[in-house]
Every structure is written in structure tokens, then in C-alpha cells.
Amino acid sequence: MYIADETWPELGDYFENESLAIVPLGSTEQHGPHLPLATDHLIAEGFAREAADRTGYLCTPTIDIGVSPHHRQFDGTMWVDAPVFRDYVESLTRNLAYHGIDRVVYVNAHGGNVEHLREVGRRLRDEEVLYAVEWMWNDSIPELVDDLFEQNGPHGGPKETAMIQYLRPELVREDRLADARDDGVESVEAADTTKHGARTYYDAIENSDNGVFGDQRDATAEKGEEMFEAATDQLVRLCEWLAERDDSELMPSPHV
């Protein structure tokens, strides 16, 4: 169920019987010469909508601009500052709680959002407003991702390329896959910007001239579909697991 397609009486029926919502989040940031800036939020929305269709749980509109200042040197990248992002997501989630939602899955497809979604979840849980958990698609199927690609990326690499080839093939610049590989870097390790245990880089351009990693030619729509199906299955299971939990299992433990 997609919230923006429903009427308020229909949503009243949902809130009377269910208490879980799915919130997709991503970014609008560079993903190399071959993928659109929309890559992350398209992936997040794809998973969230599919999981909502399979379970009947509520899906909200996508938050499509995230914490991406580390990509700012590349034309078009958009971002909000981390405190603003956290406050916005918290406010939106409190809005869901007002309508009766008491558990939320943040379907996230941007690494830069992870720590901030975790912080928002902690704030809301500590106040016993509701329970919110962050879910990242590739973290749910790490073995499959590693099996499919010799070097999966991370950013703008073959795993994200394959996902967009499957979800939105018309947006992939297939003629730029070789450029993405040749002008990028194989891996973060290959960028050699970690010194004596310290990460010396702050911006993506310090690791990769074109902002991406891996061999994008290793991507196919078929691999994207395989990952999408496997990760969607994990997301559905997470939603069902969360819906079955008693409130006492989700709220903070009492002080020892």
C-alpha cells in the first residue's frame, strides 16, 4: 500500500489494523559517468514498493536527498547537512507515530545515511515513541553480492549498475561502462588513502577521479534481478519479524 495513493478513510482502516510503515531513503548524488544521480533513491523505492506490495504494509514517499556532501565536487550532487537530515527524518517518523504507527523500517540505499538513521532510531526508541530500524539492501545479501562480482564496488560499481540495469535500464549509459572502469578505481583499498589505520580522505574525489569503483562491465540486468529478488525476500522477512514482536521486546531494557 502506497500512502499517497490512498484516501484518508482508507488509511484510517489501515491504521486501525496495522502498525508498521516502510520508509524508503536514498540520495541524489553522482554515480559516475554511467549511472543517474537518482541511483540510490530509485533502488530504495524499488525495494520499498515491492515489499509493500507483497506484504500489504504501508509505504511512504521516498526521501530522495540524503547526507552526500562527500560527493559535492561532482556536478549536480545534492545534499542536506547531517543534523538537518536527522531532524527531518525524526519529524517525519513522529508524524507516522501520531497516526498510530509504532514500528518503522527505513529502507535505505545510501551509505552516507546509515549512521544518521541509526541515531534517529535511537532517539525515538529511547523516548519510547516507536521502534525504527535501518535496512540496507546489499547488507542483507552479502554472500550473493560477493559471489556475483569479482569486485563489487562499492560506490557506482557493478552491484549498483546491475540494480539500475534491472530497475530502470533506460537510465544506464551502457556506452560509458568501460569509461567508468578505466577512469575509476578498483576498490577503496586500491585508492591507497588509508594510512597506518587512519582514513585520510573525506571526499569521494580523493579516492576516485570519476567518483566510482569496480568493474562496471561485470554488471547485467539478470544479476540485478537476482539480487533484487533475494534482498526483497529478506526485507519482507524483516517486516514480518518486526510486526510479530511484542512492544516489550522492542523498547529499551530497564536500567540495571
| CA pair distance 57, 22, nearest whole angstrom | 7
Tell me: the pLDDT tens digits for 103-126? 999 999 999 999 999 999 999 999
Per DSSP bridges, beta strands 58-59 and 198-199 are unpaired
pLDDT band at 184 (very low <50, low <70, confident <90, very high): confident
Domains of the chain (ranges; CATH) run: 3-250 (3.40.50.10310)
Cβ-count burial 225-255 (b if 16+ within 10 Å, e if not): ebbbeebbebbbebbeebeeeeeeebeeeee
C-alpha cell at 153: 564496488
Number of Cβ within a 10 Å radius of residue 76: 10
Alpha carbon of residue 98 to chain centroid: 25
pLDDT band at 186 (very low <50, low <70, confident <90, very high): confident
pLDDT band at 193 (very low <50, low <70, confident <90, very high): confident
pTM recorded for the entire structure: 0.95
pLDDT band at 187 (very low <50, low <70, confident <90, very high): confident
Averaged pLDDT of the chain: 95
| CA pair distance 65, 34, nearest whole angstrom | 20
| CA pair distance 125, 171, nearest whole angstrom | 39
Cβ-count burial 176-214 (b if 16+ within 10 Å, e if not): bbebbbeebbbbbeeeebeeeeeeebeebbebbebbbbb
The whole-number average pLDDT for the span 178-192 is 85
Nearest to 86 by CA among 127, 116, 122: 116
Tell me: the pLDDT tens digits for 24-67? 999 999 999 999 999 999 999 999 999 999 999 999 999 999 99
Q: Report helix angle 82-98 to 114-126, nearest 10.
A: 40
Note the pLDDT of residue 131. Answer: 98
| CA pair distance 222, 93, nearest whole angstrom | 35
Kindly compute the dihedral angle of the four CA atoms of residues 210, 71, 177, 190, in this order, to the nearest 10 degrees.
60
